[in-house]
Chains A and B, each alone.
Chain A
């Protein structure tokens, strides 16, 4: 039995802080698209694997610190 736990994260955007820089949509188009005014529309499904690093970048590189990551329990996934 492996003890290695896959990590999955979910993006959440603080709409008050967000100023439509749009970096998150560039970094993670798999989960973030932009509306007609440039504000992110977030798909709440978690990402895992290689996308976790991109989601983390989306959070750290947001100039408004509006992108939050939520770790999701992924026991027995995949």
Chain B
């Protein structure tokens, strides 16, 4: 793995014992979770009960957008022919939760996808796993084969789209299934379902479907036993950076950021934390008492995103770290929309010059102008994420950014990158 996971915590989603080296098996899965009955054909009563349970559970999608899961089903339930796609693309370089799930709990993922197919009446399930050496699909293949013999199973195939930051964006993923080109589509009306052939496609994140397998067993009340009233349940986070035990952790929604960092062995003093992902938000270390839940994070301009938490130690340069991310994200654009294709490299140039202390005095104005020009003008949200990250960096590292802009970069800008970048695509700056 590019990013070594020393820790995988047990919980609802991940088996007791965590990463004990034993492979996932159906026997072990049933011993942990108990059996799950999924109707073989159409069962309107069961379907209605599932829709109600998932609605009452308050489950929201775990891919980054945080949209209520049951609300996303609306158009698909009415569709005549439909297909379920499980998104195991995990394009966020600092996230490992989805690959950990398909490795350690593949049966939950397969069951959840089957539950979803039974709810919306889909005849086919496609699990899309990024074609990347970090993605071991052995356990998933085995789980598909084992569960394929059980009652209620639907035809499941595993596909391997190319890895890449934007390739997991749902219209890009569906586009790849249709044309073998993974490029985000311009969708002025998002309520129009994505289609492959003449089938409407419902795309769900890996963790989202795994949660469905649990809700189908235990119900909404059980799901809501942990977490907050307005953000119920547990979720997977990937904690890396300046922590002793980087890894994937299952946490209750509403746990404070400092408690999450403590579980990963973070030291007492941190400079800042990157939340959500590479299109996420820098949070100042003084705000780590904030609960990890959408409503609370919104007050910091942040979201749960893909559950990424990166700890930045004192002495590291947040400006330089951000510049590397922007360069990486510029290289990950889909080559489609002018403002993103031209704007992100220009923004990366300006951020690198700022980080190195060799920028023109008005560089901060230049950066803000570029950010304003790029924002909201792509087919997908890729450029918006970068703009959001840059603005949060200039907020949280504002005093340092002014020093950098005055030609006095901090010593931290020469440090090695804290943030990880997929091999072969590493950003060139500063190392």
The residues of A with any CB-CB pair to B shorter than 8 Å are 12, 14-20, 35-39, 41, 68
Contacting residues of chain B (302-357) with chain A, CB-CB under 8 angstroms: 336-340, 342-343
Q: Are B342 and A16 in contact (CB under 8 A)?
A: no
Distance between Cα atoms of A37 and B340 in the complex (Å): 11
Q: Are B337 and A16 in contact (CB under 8 A)?
A: yes
Q: Are B186 and A15 in contact (CB under 8 A)?
A: yes
Distance between Cα atoms of A36 and B338 in the complex (Å): 10
Q: Which of B185, B188, B373 contacts A35 (CB 8 A)?
A: B373
Nearest CB in chain B: distance from A35 CB, A: 5
Q: Are B339 and A16 in contact (CB under 8 A)?
A: no
Which B residue's beta carbon lies closest to that of A18? B338
Total chain B interface residues with beta-carbon distance under 8 A:
16
Contacts of A18 in B (CB 8 A): 337-338
Question: In the complex, which of the residues A16, A20, A35, A36 has the most CB atoms of chain B within 10 Å of its own CB atom?
Answer: A16
Distance between Cα atoms of A38 and B377 in the complex (Å): 13
B378: Cβ under 8 A from any A Cβ: yes
Contacts of B340 in A (CB 8 A): 15
Contacts of A17 in B (CB 8 A): 186
Contacts of B186 in A (CB 8 A): 14-17
On whether A15 and B188 interact (CB within 8 A), knowing A35-B373, A39-B377, the answer reads no
Q: Are A16 and B336 in contact (CB under 8 A)?
A: yes
Question: In the complex, which of the residues B339, B373, B378, B379 has the most CB atoms of chain A within 10 Å of its own CB atom?
Answer: B339
Main SS at interface, chain A: loop
Contacts of B184 in A (CB 8 A): 16
Q: Are B339 and A39 in contact (CB under 8 A)?
A: yes
Contacts of A20 in B (CB 8 A): 338
Contacts of A39 in B (CB 8 A): 338-339, 342, 377
Contacts of B343 in A (CB 8 A): 37
Interface string of B254-282 (1 = CB under 8 A from A): 00000000000000000000000000000
Contacts of A36 in B (CB 8 A): 342, 373
Distance between Cα atoms of A66 and B186 in the complex (Å): 11
Q: Are B377 and A41 in contact (CB under 8 A)?
A: yes
Q: Are B373 and A16 in contact (CB under 8 A)?
A: no
Q: Are A15 and B185 in contact (CB under 8 A)?
A: no
Between-chain CB contacts (< 8 Å), 22 pairs: A14-B186, A14-B188, A14-B379, A15-B186, A15-B340, A15-B378, A16-B183, A16-B186, A16-B379, A17-B186, A18-B337, A18-B338, A20-B338, A36-B342, A36-B373, A37-B339, A37-B343, A38-B338, A39-B338, A39-B339, A41-B373, A41-B377
Which A residue's beta carbon lies closest to that of B341? A37
